[in-house]
Structure 1
């Protein structure tokens, strides 16, 4: 297969003129990878591997892509390997490390297109490896161990530290976010959670903290805080420190106020403080409900296609990075190599002070479901959503959900109400219901127009009216599923009322296949949806088949015609999570 050169740190593609001593011919199972890794580590510890001799003629080249923050340490380790002529099976290893944002590599591997031009990937978090695993055409990735860690907290300039009571006062995530996002006394900045593990881990902790304290209002509170945070985000971690106030003052001459606090890793604070003047140095808050950690998984890429020499060289380099010299290189650059016993030097340099809980055990990472939900919430919060929601009101929605004393309609209404809590007042949501001949000859009826949730009219907000309309939904006696005509009519309406700058989508929930023989056919519906779709003004259909009788293939075909996604849930209580997951997926595919 053809290969493409890696982009260098400046974003230009520079082909390497040297021949590559590699080939992907010998398949390795994951079990063999782990055995070789253990053997390599043992060989290093016992001094079995040979050192010295000429490396010019038979070196095994190893290409590594890594998160920008850990790249300098890995390059130093690669230089150390060359200087010491470190070998694997008698061959010197020639390691080349390229910096690339973890989200870009994850998206590339998830798509599974082409043949990656690297053997090892070291992202800053296992979150990205897990994202690759969600792709249906994904490239195989095999994590072999973690080489370092760095907790995530909120770094503050001296002026902000004083006003927040640092270091003596401790906060949980929700309290700290509220203190820095409400008003304009202390400005908090972050990197985009869709592109930054630091931002995503912090947002997940913020959400968990808000739900713990706020009960049913937790999702609404999280969305409100996320909305405030979204106005102060940068595209990537690399640009975040550029938003920090200079000379300790947030007020900039002739410009907007800069941030006095940042969601940052301990290692990033360490690096900043190493070159910052005292008035620009950072102190770190470690929230008392737990600091999530970046964990830097050393990951083999397409190891089932690697040659034996390359796979052994990859594991030899990992073993070297994990030995005493490698740990020293990482620690000198602000990484924790023993999470439970961080060095006093590192902590002091990073801005940790007692009684901040900097040494407590890391909090549990968010689950895949939690990640999808928080990213879905972030997508609709940042972009503001305009969703036309169409709910099946056919008689079959009165059937009881197995294991529950509630009907499909009752559980659906409850799940929709919960989903509504995650939207802000700037989001626009409408509601239709459908069943055969529901409104004269039509199979559908508009219950609430698609308007801002915060819009006041008649003494109530649109959110209030929509909540009331959700509660009033009832199955129609004798009503069948008029899916095709309804979908086409709703899509045309959503297209004619499209609002630029928002995330526009049509959400359809149905518990059965189309049952209206007098309406259009599926092929006609799909053809018309394709014709109505406009790539420059995306309007995906998010179609959810509810219950065991629903046709998943049908909703997938309908949604695919618009660039959307089809899903099936056995329990309507899953609708909330699926909507957020689908929004996140559709949002990430936008041009």
Structure 2
């Protein structure tokens, strides 16, 4: 691979100099990435990359690397060894500067594309963050070159709590373990915030998948209830979560009820914690029998097109060194698994694991799909904040059309999807229901069917508001010859949501329609947008989540209307996708 006409981007004092013209094709860079990721050891052994002992030029190649706080110390140790021993790449010394930074913060920054990154390499604790960072419209390009380490996500408990659940002989699935830990306030279970922690998000996603696999009819509600309980004991970061662990074996620490007896934690974090903790406050690990999700530490090049050839090769040279004997040993000394993910008995014992817990097969768990992660984040958002939603459903005549592949009407599939979405909400959430067409209630195009109340509230006959809402969803029927009275309904629903705003909850209006406005006597679209913009109040946010259902839905129209409130517009060809879109939209609006 030839050199390019490029000046050294860093001077010997570490100050960046202005680069001359430098561009390489992404294809060539990708080939280099794949080649190094697939065979770094072979390349180094054959002398294609310089090894230890080569002469050191004065103009070292400096790279700034940002890493998750857990892996940053190990990478810093390797970087210091590289500098102290004049390790080179293409005859030039490597000067790697490692900074620890929470992965969720980096992902948010890269997704927004605001400002040029001040680093060339990023090593988050999970590929989840790379996927999230790559989802924004203004995102910074990222190239994952390989994974440098792994650590399974487990559940740790202080010795007395672990003993009460039969550790280490007793084996549980994630659903069983969570249920045992939370049954009757038996244990205080904590975790890091799944919106900010890969460990928390992976565990919660796995708990949901495990509960569904167990086959319970109310598995979604059980998972939401577990998340609600967990939300009461979450910390902003993994490090802060570890600080909540009880320091005495009673789990109360002299009666302190805030101390956790159990914690969702990575093996590596438990390793670090146990190294400092007294015996009574150490953690013992359960490795669920249905597999542990993995933190996988992707070595990621940031906006590769702006890197010089020397910088790209230096980054990959450093990744190769991390994977070689000394670098791998350093990672293991900090509690990480390397290579194929097998762990030594000494590492697991120090982390709090013991046979017959299935720690040797912990790496067999398949990573969750993007769909599972999005659904979990959506559920978590509404669980943490509690939701107050007004659901407004189009019942115009066109909703009677049959959906290809379902042999059901557009409204029937919509109702099923709404009922499925309802199972994701907890008893504390508040939901109401309107239907709309044209002239549905006198001169009004809409009719209020169910008031917005807590799903757990009891009615006079002893049923819950959730039961009533489910029944009303099921009773929705298309209005023969009914047209779509979209604009007046939207304005009325938004005004009511604003007037009944409840502080401390996630307030929103969810609007579903399969067509454009067909009421000639209604407010115009531009008039509606103007009115919504006037009503929208940043101090009392009520985003409109507008979903165009079916091929006749106008995505551009619902986007324009929703964006006037700070909300979002979506298009779904298949109404069965509605529940996923609602959860994703709630997550996005909640984060905003």
> What is residue 108 of structure 1 aligned with on the other side?
109
> 1:370-403: per-residue Cα shift (whole Å, max 9, x none)?
1110100011111100000000010000000012
Q: Is residue 388–residue 450 contact of structure 1 (8 Å, CA) maintained in 2? A: yes
Q: 1:312 offset after TM fit, Å?
A: 1.0
Q: State which drifts further: 279-288 or 391-400.
A: 279-288
Distance 2:538 2:346 in 1: 53
Q: Establish whether residue 344 from structure 1 lines up as the match of residue 342 from structure 2.
A: no
Contact 1:37 1:315 in 2 (8 A): no
- TM-score, with structure 1 as normaliser: 0.94
Alpha-carbon distance in structure 2 between the residues aligned to 1:188 and 1:36? 42
* Kept in 1: contact 2:394–2:436 (CA 8 A): yes
**SS state at 2:152 partner:** strand
Question: Of 15, 18, 21, which residue of structure 2 is paired with 1:19?
Answer: 15
**Where does structure 2 lack aligned partners over 5 or more consecutive residues?**
1-11
Q: CA deviation at 1:217?
A: 1.3
In the alignment, which residue of structure 2 is the partner of 1:32? 29
Tell me, in whole angstroms, the C-alpha distance in 1 between the residues paired with 2:47 and 2:519. 76
Instruction: Give the CA deviation at 1:341.
Output: 2.6
2: distance between equivalents of 1:27 and 1:60?
A: 18
In the TM superposition, residue 17 of structure 1 has moved relative to its aligned partner by: 8.2
Pairing 1:86–2:83 present = no
Q: Which residue of 2 aligns with 1:262?
A: 263
Does residue 1:152 correspond to 2:158, yes or no? Answer: no
Deviation at 1:418? 0.7
Alignment-derived partner of residue 120 in structure 1: 121
Structure 1 residue 410 displacement after superposition: 0.4
Q: TM-score, normalised by structure 2?
A: 0.94
SS in 2 for 1:388: strand
Q: Distance in 1 between matches of 2:515 and 2:353?
A: 57
User: 1:385 aligns to what?
Assistant: 387
How far the C-alpha of 1:41 sits from its partner, in A, is 4.6
Q: Aligned ranges for residues 50-199 of structure 1 at < 5 Å?
A: 51-52=52-53, 55=56, 57-199=58-200
Measure, in 2, the Cα distance between the counterparts of 1:156 and 1:46. Answer: 48
Per-residue CA shift, 1:379-432, capped at 9, x if unaligned? 111110000000001000000001221000100111111111111111000000
CA contact (8 A) 1:505 1:542 kept: yes
Q: Which runs of 4+ in 1 moved over 4 A?
A: 21-24, 50-56
Q: Determine if contact 1:22/1:310 at 8 Å carries over to the other structure.
A: no
Q: Are 1:565 and 2:568 matched, yes or no?
A: yes
C-alpha contact (below 8 Å) 1:27/1:303 kept by paired residues: no
- Distance of 1:271 and 1:30 partners within structure 2: 40
Determine if contact 2:150/2:341 at 8 Å carries over to the other structure: no
CA displacement at 1:31 relative to structure 2 = 4.8
Aligned with 1:495 (options 498, 517, 529): 498
SS in 2 for 1:536: coil
Other-structure match for 1:437: 439
Root-mean-square deviation (CA, aligned residues, Å) is: 1.7
Q: 2:466 aligns with which of 458, 463, 468?
A: 463
Match of 1:452 in 2: 454
Secondary structure at the aligned position of 1:526 is classed as: helix
* TM-superposition CA deviations, 1:127-175 (whole Å, max 9, x none): 0111122211110000000000000100111111110110000110011
- Which stretch shifts more, 28-37 or 355-364? 28-37
SS at match of 1:246: coil
Task: Report which stretch shifted further, 459-468 or 112-121.
Answer: 459-468
Matched, 1:544 2:541: no
Partner of 1:482: 485
Give 1:12's aligned residue: none
Cα separation, partners in 2 of 1:17 and 1:542, compared to 1, 3 Å: farther
Note closer, same or farther for the CA distance 1:282–1:252 as it changes in structure 2 (3 Å cut). Answer: closer
For 1:521-561, what per-residue CA distance to the aligned partner results, in whole angstroms no more than 9, with x for missing partners? 11111111111111122110000000000000000111111
Structure 2 distance, partners of 1:333, 1:30, is 36
Distance apart, 1:18 and its partner CA: 4.0
Q: Is the 8 A contact 1:26 1:308 kept in 2?
A: no
- Does residue 529 of structure 1 match 2:526? no
Q: CA deviation at 1:30?
A: 4.8
Structure 1 stretch displaced more, 42-51 or 190-199: 42-51
